[in-house]
Structure formats: C-alpha cells, structure tokens
Chain A
Amino acid sequence: MILQAIAFYLMASVTILAGLAVVFARNPVHSVLFLITAFFSAAGLFVLMGAEFLAMLLVVVYVGAVAVLFLFVVMMLDVDFTQLREGFSRYLPIGGAVAGLLTLEMIVVATTVASQGAASASPGPNASAGADVTNAEAIGRVLYTDYVYFFQAAGLVLLVAMIGAIVLTLRHKPGVKRQNIAAQTARTPATGMTIVDIKPGEGISE
C-alpha cells in the first residue's frame, strides 16, 4: 500500500509540475518535452488505477504520435512565440475565469462520483467476462464483435479524410522529371547524346 501511495504522489506531482512547465517554459521545444513528461506520468497514474489499456493508449497515441507531431510543428514552422505571449496579462482575467470555472466543474463531478458512484444502467455487452480478464483483453473481446460495425465505419471516416486530403492538395504538375529506372538504364550513348558540329565563332542555341 505504502509503495502505491509513494508512486501516486510522485507521479501526480510530476504531472502537475510538468503541466505548469508546459505553460511557463520559455522555449517552445521545452514546452513540448514537458508535455511528453506529463503524458508519461499520467500514464503511470492510469496503471495505478488498474487501467493499463488507457495507459498504453496514452503512451502510444499521445506520446508516440501527437506530441511528436507537435514537436515537428514547433521545430518546422516559424512561429514567433514571444509575440504569442504578449497579451498574457491582458487575457489573464478571462483565462483565469474560464480555468476557475473548469476546475469548479471538475470538483463537482468528482465529488458527485465519489459520493454516489458513476451511473451504470447497463454494464454493456460482454462485460460479464470476469475479473481475471485484463482491460485490453476485455476491449478486444467486444471491439471485433459488437463494435465491429463502429470500428470499420471509423476506418471509413479515416479513408474519407485521406481521399479528401489528396483531392484538395495533390497537383500533377506538367514537366516534373520523375525517376524511371527502366528507361534510365536502357539509355545508350546513341540515345543519350548528340554530336553537334559547331563552327568556330558561332554558338549553339537550344
């Protein structure tokens, strides 16, 4: 028990400190790195709660894809972050109000759940799998059975996004030289070269 408590307090404080550091770090790259730290320690918190599948998702999706993407954006794009920060004191009141409201809401929800328990009208399909089944296994059991329709449809949504991106951005420019290995290796001196006889004092025009 004591070990768990230590782990919890350690990771919780790292999460909060890293979250603060994301906002206050001067260098945007450091911000993103702190964000990754926050994700990792949040994943640790999930493991402590017995939700190892969520922890895996957090690491794989957020750290592996989203945060790295952020890092690329921050490093590739020329965004002037000092300029973005200029209105900090001006927007502090309204930002603080929104943050305060959100915190209040979270406290209300958390205390409600703590006192009454979360609503559970139906445990969902195939949830009676038993206590010895891990999270990932339980999700796997329903994902390809009861939820296969949604799963495949979500795949189609991604396909539409891909087609859309290609339709809207791909341009076939005429005159672009592409590599054609067969044609390139089949070149002979006869086809690849012309011998021009230039008379002295004259140029060639091409």
Chain B
Amino acid sequence: MTLADLNLVRPELILAVGALLLLLVGAFRGKGGPVFDLAAMLVLAVAGAAAVTGDQGRAFAGGVVVDNLSTFAKVAIYAASALAIPLGGGWLRARGDDKFEFAILVLLAALGMGMMVSAGDLISLYIGIELHSLALYVLAAFRRDDAKSSEAGLKYFVLGALSSGLLLYGASLIYGFAGSTHFDVIAASVQGQAHTGVLFGLIFLISGLAFKVSAAPFHMWTPDVYEGAPTPVVGFFAGAPKLAAMVLLARALSEGFGAAIGQWQQVIVVIALLSVFVGAFAGLAQKNLKRLWAYSSIANIGYALLGLAAGGESGMQAMLMFMVLYLIDVTGFFACLSALRRDGKPMETIDDMAGLFRERPGLALAITAFSLSALGLPPFSGFFAKFFVFKAALGAGLVWPAVLGLVGSVVAAFYYLRLIKVMWFDPAPGAVEKPPATAMAIALTAALFAFPVVLIALAWLEPLALAASAAFG
C-alpha cells in the first residue's frame, strides 16, 4: 500500500469517514432531521466530486480499478443515493419514524456500490456486494413495526444470503481452477480453451449476480420485497444497486472472461429474454403498483442484459445508457408513489390512482411520463434507452433476441396504458392529500428529464457512456 493507492480510493475514503463521523453525531444527538440528511447528502456530493476529479488507475495490487466506467457509474450511484436520503428521511419522519441511521445506511450502501463498480478482483466484488446488500436488507425492514416491511426485509435477507452463497461457490471454483482472484489473471487463464471448472464457476457467479439485479429466473424475491419495503426505499433499491450490479457483471464478464464470450453470451441472452417475458406477462395480473413496478423492473433488467449480451463497446454503452435512464425513471416514479396518500392511506393499487389527473394534474402527468418512458414510447427517455439496446443487439447479430425483446415490450405496454387510463379517465373516490414538497420536486424534475430534457441530455450522456465503455472493446 502506498499513498498513490489511497489517492485512488478517495471517494470511498470520504464516504467511509463521512459515514463514521455522522454516525457519531447521530449517536450523540439521538435523532436525525433535515439538517442531518443534508450533511449526508453533502458527503455524497463531495465523494462524487472526488470521483470525477480523481486520478485513474489500479490500486491495492489490482483489487480496485478506477477508470471511466467506474467514475461514470459512481456519479450516477452517488446522485441516486443523495436523492434517496431526503425522500426517505422525509417519508419516515412523516410517519413518526425519525431515525438518523437511515441516512447512514444509505451512505454505507452507496460506499458498497461504489466498491462494486470499481472491483478488479473477486474479493472486492464480494465485499462490495455484501456491504451494500446488508445495508439494503436493513433498509427494507426499516419500519420494523409494520409486518409487511419486516417480511420484506427477512425475505430479501434470506434469498440474498442464498445468492451470496451461490456467488461465493462460483468464486471459489474460479479461484481454484484459474489460480487467482484477479480478473486479469483469470482472463489469461481462460485464453484459448477455458477449463470446465472455471466455466462452472462462472455460471454460479452469473447466477449470484442475476439474483442481485433480479433477472429471471432469479426474480422471485422482487415483487414481495418491493411490496413490503417502504416506498422511497424501493425507489432507491430499484435503481442504484441494479446499476452497480450490472456494471459489476459487465466488468467481471469482459475483463475476467472476455475470451470466453462464446460461453457466457448465450447464458446472458437466455436470462435476458426470460426476464423480459416474465416481467411482461406476470405484470399483467398485478393490482398493486409496487408489485407491478417490480415486474416492470425485471423486464427492464432484461433489456439491459440484452445490451450486455451484445458485448463490445456498443453493447456496454447501450447497457450503461439504459440503466442510467431507467434509474431516473424509477426514482421519479417511486417519488410520486411515496408522495401520494388518500384519506390517510397510501395509494398503492392501480384502482387507488383513479381520477388522479383531476386532483393532482402535476403528479398524474409525471406518472404518465414515467409509464410512457418505461413503455418505450418515442419522445420519452425510455425509447432512447431501448433504441440503443436494440441497435447494439442487432449490431452483434442477435436478431432473434432483439425481435423477441420487442414483442415483450409490446405485451408490457398493456399494463402501463391501463395505469394511464385509470388515472386520466376514471372517477376519483376521495380527496388526495397534499404531497410533500421534496418528493414533488424530485418527481417533477425526473419527469421533466424523461421528456423533454432527455433530448438535450442525450447529447452529453451518449459521449460520456461511450467514453466509459471505450475500454471494453
């Protein structure tokens, strides 16, 4: 270890030290509050700035890789986490659950996700995953007196532990047969004819990570956890952790197993298409919006995986753009959902949304924008996300998967359109309460991003994503 190594992990150091200091402050004050949340957001902002301005390279004998990809992903992750803090904090305070640990756990989860995207080694891969997952399990169960929240936390924990087990088993097989945990050494060992043991381990590694991004057939936990967990927390863990896990999967596959692309490409294509169809068809039967959006996220992960399966620079770029645009969509949607209450009860089913347009036209318009974007209708951001994915898939010769993906997208259109119809045309059963200002601001900003800001933002998002994926030829 030298100072140069420490210099490269500056964002992680800032987050860790910031979280520890805030933990001390919180422990002495005994409660959180808006100022405390603001301090936590400031830590994330400083860490993000450090990530952008910091040097690039490898540290700790290759365990940490800092490159354009990790910086790109870190900025997106820290931004999403920074939004989750006031959103979740405000939501919990409104329900009399003022705990300072919320912001701390989000900070530590962000730290773990940052470690994931710059993992250059199976050990940092695993530790990053555990750090962020453990924080997320607690966040899912944060409202401990609510039976559903506890159930969500427990389910998430048990299934997450199972997936960690799969992942570790795969990692140990890879280590045993390749002789190293470093991605570059593994890459050298799979050059030419890869040993069956390594490929066996790779399949387990992919399965473990597919659990974390909730890709079918490892998606079973998603609807239950989304339904039970506090709404703003769902918005947090539907976005940033998935981006982190996708980047990690992409890096592990292309840096560690680039030579074995023939072996893993077919696996990823199958998982991607399964996710698209499970998400589309199972979503049709859902009444609860959080469950619906869980299936929607499964389908969307399918598209991101399709981009990943395309491989190469364009596939990586498509995956990154897709995940970032989806992250903004899903954050905005759950900000809307967390803001909506009618007659003292949260509005969580599709029928609850009836008549929203007449009462809260702003929020109804925002939800409409997110739905149309998730559906992939042209001027909205989701369209551009899917456009890049399909372009990359066609460019890589994956014609049939791309066609099947489009079919799945058409099926899923049904439930988004039904939601819009209920909001716009059905009569309202009661009065909607006034939404909190923070959630409104985040929701409307995200909606404006979905359209029309995305048209301008693409001009800089595209080259940034391209630069981030340039190393993965």
Chain B residues, Cβ within 8 Å of A147: 60, 63, 123
Once the chains bind, are B134 and A125 in contact (CB under 8 Å)?
no
In the complex, residue of chain A having the shortest beta-carbon distance to the beta carbon of B60? A149
Q: Is B185 a contact of A121 with CB atoms below 8 Å?
A: yes
B131 proximal to A (CB < 8 A): yes
Annotate B136-152 by CB proximity to A: 1 below 8 A, 0 otherwise: 01100110100000000
Whole-angstrom CA separation of A120 from B180 in the bound complex: 8
Q: Which of A137-176 contact B (CB under 8 A)?
A: 144-150, 152-154, 156-157, 159-161, 163-164, 166-169
- Find chain A residues with CB under 8 A from B127 CB: 150, 153-154, 157
Q: Are B134 and A149 in contact (CB under 8 A)?
A: no
Cross-chain contact of B131 among A157, A167, A168 (Cβ < 8 A): A157
- B378 at interface, CB cutoff 8 A: no
Contacts of A167 in B (CB 8 A): 99, 101, 105, 138, 142, 144
Q: Mark A98-126, 1 if CB is under 8 A from B, else 0.
A: 00000000000000000000111110110
Contacts of A159 in B (CB 8 A): 108
| Interface 0/1 of B144-176, CB less than 8 Å to A | 100000000100000000000000000000001
The chain A residue with its CB closest to the CB of B157 is A164
B260 to chain A, nearest CB (A): 15
A172, chain B: closest CB distance, angstroms: 9
Number of interface residues of A (CB under 8 A): 28
How far is it, in angstroms, between the C-alpha of A119 and the C-alpha of B177 when the chains are bound? 6
Interfacial chain B residues near A168, Cβ < 8 Å: 138, 141, 144, 153
Given the interface pairs A164-B137, A166-B101, A168-B138, the reply to whether A156 lies near B131 with Cβ below 8 Å is yes
Closest to B20 in A: A159
Contact with A along B9-53 (1 / 0, CB 8 A): 100000010000001000000000000000000000000000000
Chain A residues closer than 8 Å to B135, beta-carbon distance: 160, 164
Q: In the complex, A160 Cα to B105 Cα: how many Å?
A: 7
Among A146, A150, A168, chain B packs the most CB atoms within 10 A around the CB of A150
Q: Is B1's beta carbon under 8 Å from chain A?
A: yes
Return the chain B residue nearest A145 by Cβ.
Answer: B1
Nearest-neighbour CB distance to chain A for B82, whole angstroms, equals 19
- Determine whether B210 belongs to the interface, using a CB cutoff of 8 Å to chain A: no
Distance in Å: Cβ of B287 to nearest Cβ of chain A? 30
Bound form: Cα–Cα A145–B2 in Å: 8
Q: Are B134 and A157 in contact (CB under 8 A)?
A: yes
**Nearest Cβ distance between residue A139 and chain B, in whole angstroms?**
14
A-B interface contact total, Cβ < 8 Å: 91
**CB contact list, A5-56 vs B, under 8 A:** none
Q: Assuming the A-B contacts A149-B64, A163-B23, are A121 and B178 also in contact, with contact meaning beta carbons closer than 8 angstroms in the complex? A: yes
B128 contacts A by Cβ under 8 Å: yes
**A119 in complex: contacting residue of B153, B178, B188, CB < 8 Å:** B178
B389 contacts the other chain (CB 8 A): no
Per a CB cutoff under 8 Å, which of B1, B130, B176 touches A148? Answer: B1
Across the interface, name the chain B residue whose C-beta is closest to A144.
B1
B182 touches A122 (CB 8 A): yes
- Give A166 to B112 CA distance when docked, in angstroms: 20
- Interface of chain B: mostly helix, strand, loop or mixed: helix
CB–CB A149/B59 < 8 A: yes
For residue B430, CB closer than 8 A to chain A, the reply is no
* Contacting pair B179 A121 (CB below 8 A): yes
Instruction: Tell me whether B124 is interfacial, beta carbon within 8 Å.
Output: yes
Q: Smallest distance from the beta carbon of B93 to chain A beta carbons, Å?
A: 15
* B185 contacts A150, C-beta separation under 8 Å: no
Q: Looking across the interface, which residue of chain A has its beta carbon closest to that of B64?
A: A149
Do A164 and B134 touch (CB < 8 A)?
A: yes
Question: Is B381 interfacial (CB 8 A cutoff)?
Answer: no
A166 to B128, CA, bound (A): 22
- The reply to whether B60 and A148 form a contact with Cβ atoms under 8 Å apart is yes
Choose one: A122, A153, A154, A161; the contact of B179 (CB below 8 Å): A122
Looking at the complex, which one of B16, B63, B105, B178 makes contact with A146 (CB distance below 8 Å)? B63
In the bound complex, what is the Cα–Cα distance between A120 and B108 (angstroms)? 35
A146 CB contacts on chain B under 8 angstroms = 1, 60-61, 63
Complexed CA–CA distance, A163 and B105 (Å): 8
Q: Is B331 an interface residue (CB 8 A)?
A: no
* Neighbouring B residues of A148 by C-beta, 8 Å: 1, 60
**Complexed CA–CA distance, A157 and B123 (Å):** 13
Give the residue of B104, B123, B176 whose beta carbon is less than 8 angstroms from that of A150: B123
Q: Which of A119, A120, A156, A164 sits near B16, CB closer than 8 Å?
A: A156
Q: Mark B52-75, 1 if CB is under 8 A from A, else 0.
A: 000000011101100000000000
Q: In this assembly, does B356 line the interface, its C-beta being within 8 Å of a C-beta of chain A?
A: no
Q: In the bound complex, do residue A119 and residue B131 qualify as a contact, i.e. CB atoms below 8 Å apart? A: no
CA distance A121 to B190 in the complex (A): 11
Given contacts A146-B61, A148-B60, A149-B124, contact A160 B108 (CB under 8 A): yes
Check B214 for interface membership: any CB of A closer than 8 A: no
> Which residue of chain A is the closest to B153 with respect to CB atoms?
A168
Q: Nearest-CB distance from A97 to chain B (Å)?
A: 20
| Chain A residues with a Cβ under 8 A of chain B | 118-122, 124-125, 144-150, 152-154, 156-157, 159-161, 163-164, 166-169
A-B contact pairs, 9 of them (CB 8 A): A119-B179, A121-B179, A121-B189, A146-B60, A148-B1, A149-B9, A156-B131, A160-B138, A164-B138
Nearest 8 A/B pairs, CB to CB? A121-B179, A164-B138, A119-B179, A146-B61, A149-B60, A125-B61, A153-B127, A160-B134
Q: A122-B182, A153-B124 are in contact. List 20 more A-B contacts (CB 8 A).
A: A119-B177, A119-B189, A120-B179, A121-B180, A145-B1, A146-B63, A147-B63, A147-B123, A149-B124, A150-B60, A156-B16, A156-B131, A157-B134, A160-B131, A160-B135, A163-B104, A166-B101, A167-B142, A168-B141, A168-B153
